[in-house]
Amino acid sequence: MNYKILIILVFMFPLLVACGDQGSSGRTLIHPDDTVLLEVDGAPVTVAMLEFMMDNRGIGEDDRAAMQALLDELVRLQVVANAAKASGLADQPRLRASRAIRDLEALQMAYFDALYRRDPITDEAIEQAYQSQIKRSGDYQYRLETVAFASQQAAMATIVELSSGDGAPINDEVWAQAVESGQSSPDTDWVDRSQLPDRVRPELAQAPVNHVLSLPLPAPDGERWLVARISDRRAFEAPPLDQLREGIARSLVRQRINAEVDALYDEADIVPMRPASAPAGATAAEPSP
């Protein structure tokens, strides 16, 4: 608790600061250690609630007029919330679900923030990820011209048709004739080896211009397959670390969060209460042994 704020409020609102009975209604998220500024029809407004709004609005502790306006806003929020509860809105299933999900999301963000603060991303980790990315990228960047097919089998059949067995590059005339049955797609932007599927990376090391990749690539739309030919190649020059530092840090944070969530998920005791397809009135299923 911020005692400076509390002292200011004691002088601003000498009759408002109280520590009411923690068993009163509307105190689901109120902790026994919270200092209650006032009650609105039995529902508490606390110092912590005011501090939260001050932080969000960028209001300092010395701006008494703004603090008073925020406290009045909190009271008005609580008045409306009390009316909603009294009218039965708080008992509606969809609203209860919405409030529960918002609570889950708030707890999730707080947990992720604590995780980062406990184990922040270091410069060494960023440097290591940078060097690893350069190694995965290889020595070249490529432009790929592609032709889309409705199925993986059709794309593979075209690759087999294009292949002469000796791995020789395919000239424009042969390429044009072989892909008439497909649908032309725009050339890709410059890509490096790390941006392509693992299964085609090995052949890129020595692949010349006009080389057709030996396996089809999934199209961005997820519904088609691409036959790809290298239309151009250039030496790969890695951007300096300073240009990539923030992006690498964000990527490492996402990886750490995903790993934490996966670990918590694997350790959780998940007990289905009824099949997902069961009607609303179905009885709970017996827990798995």
pLDDT of residue 54: 93
Task: Mark whether 114 and 196 lie in a shared domain.
Answer: no
Helix (H) or strand (E) holding 247: helix 241-267
What pLDDT is stored for residue 61 in this prediction? 87
CA separation for the pair 250, 67 (Å, rounded): 35
Which of 218, 235, 252 is the last residue before a domain boundary? 235
Res 283: pLDDT: 54
Query: What is the predicted pLDDT for the residue at 276?
Result: 61
Q: Based on the fold, state whether residues 72 and 133 are members of the same structural domain.
A: no
Q: What is the pLDDT of residue 128?
A: 96
Number of domains in the chain: 3
pLDDT score at 21: 45
Give residue 12's pLDDT.
Answer: 55
- Give the pLDDT score at 22: 41
| Phi, psi for residue 146 in degrees, rounded to 5 | -130, 155
Domain-located, residue 287: no
- DSSP letters along 99-162, please? HHHHHHHHHHHHHHHHHHHHSPPPHHHHHHHHHHHHHHH-SEEEEEEEEEESSHHHHHHHHHHH
> How many alpha carbons lie under 13 Å from residue 153 in its C-beta half-sphere?
0
Question: Other C-beta atoms within 10 Å of 36: how many?
Answer: 22
- Whether residue 165 sits in one domain with residue 46: no
128 shares its domain with 164: no
CATH number at residue 195: 3.10.50.40
On the CB side of 115, CA atoms within 13 Å amount to 16
Three-state secondary-structure class, residue 284? coil
Point out the residues of the chain with pLDDT beneath 50. 1, 7, 15-26, 287-289
